[in-house]
Amino acid sequence: MRIACHFLAGFILTAALTLTNGNADTSAVDSPRAKNIIFMVPDGMGLAGVTAARIFKHGPNSGRLSFETLPVIGYQSTHSADSSVTDSAAAASAWACGEKFNNGEISCHDDNTDGICDRTPAPTILDLAKALGKVAGLVVTSDITHATPAAFGANVHHRRCEAEIARQYLARDIDVLLGGGIAKNRAPCKRSSSGSDDPDSLLAAYRASGYAIIDTKTQMNNAVTDGHPKVLGLFKPDGKTLEMFRVNPDIAYPRQEPTLPEMTAAALHLLSRHDRGFFLLVEGSQIDWAGHDNHLKNQIAETLAFDAAVQEVLQWLSAQPNRRQETLLLVVADHETGGFAINGPRGSLAAKGHFVRDGWTGDWHTAVDTLIWAQGPGSPRFGRALDNTDLYGVIKRVLK
């Protein structure tokens, strides 16, 4: 039986090749240690998806998406321990722990089916941050116990152990959780170590531990105003409403359901009140879901919503002069989904507000490398060819 998340012994980055699309990131040179880590994941987004969203928003000849303005660009390989094509669980676990996992595993290598690791694993990035006295938050558009956030806040043998994941979030005292609902354990996960996989029982446990349980935008804004130290926001039973419904005038988007940018802004307000800093994961989860459906319009809408969340972060960083020097911001996709390619139009340019001609190779993930955008302390170390396991060592090195 292997123990999860071993420290990457001997891992030292002695040089970094920095690729820039602007001026050098001087804040990273001047301040090599990070008080805050903001880790943003456009799940399933490939470079073609970036291009399609940029053309739709700005046209072919001008403008960049917000995350494209970050000064450091690198890329990562994404394979899992048992497959050339990773799933989100193994990919996020590689980030969180710095080693390869089999598809389906959540920062845990154990073969048991009771949902928990028999041996105490080494810390995830979130655990490292909490050990330093920082606060932590997870903000997603999927259910809050989905694979990507789970890898940072839980250690379970399979991604479907979602009730156990929720229990471990509570045990880790994760301060801010905003997204969709909490799912029950599903096969192959047999049970929760808490003795129940009933979401109502889990919510009662959160409430007893001092969390504000919210399910509307108004309640979220009130929690921000009140400065509530612990917030669990569950705005849908599962994944949040498709962003495409917000931009489609023929469909009423739920007015009391906050957007990803709004949830991101709320999390930043809540977490940044703590003097020792924070770790924040933000995921545009449903970019991936649109890729599985080969649905270009949904993919672009979800990508632009994620980009708006990045813009919220950039505005927060600019609001006070010390924030850029103290905060490492990463934008990195776990994998590409659907094998999306742009096939046209040919003989003319796609105009602003128009969709490119799309082609897809399948309805699952692909094995292509994904891009990394970064700024802040330690960011030049991401401006090179990396493996997804390498991100852990760099982040651990710059945490203070």
Residues with a catalytic annotation lie at 88
- Strand pairing partners for 185? 161
| Of 12, 27, 45, 135, nearest in space to 340 by CA | 45
Q: In angstroms, what CA-CA distances link 269 with 153, 214, 307, 390?
A: 21, 16, 19, 30
Residues 150/45, Cβ–Cβ less than 8 Å: no
Distance CA 240, CA 70 (A): 28
Report d(CA 83, CA 332) in Å as an integer: 20
Instruction: Round to whole Å and give the CA distance between 334 and 75.
Output: 11
Q: Quote the CA–CA distance of 77 and 63 in Å, as a whole number.
A: 28
Report CA dihedral (249, 354, 46, 290) to the nearest 10 degrees: 30
Work out the angle between the directed axes of helices 260-271 and 217-226 (0-180°, nearest 10).
20
Q: Residue 90: helix, strand or coil by DSSP?
A: helix
DSSP 41-66: E-TT--HHHHHHHHHHHH-SSS---G
Distance, CA of 351 to CA of 357 (rounded, Å): 12
The DSSP H or E segment spanning 72 is strand 72-77
Q: In which element (H, E) is residue 73 found? A: strand 72-77
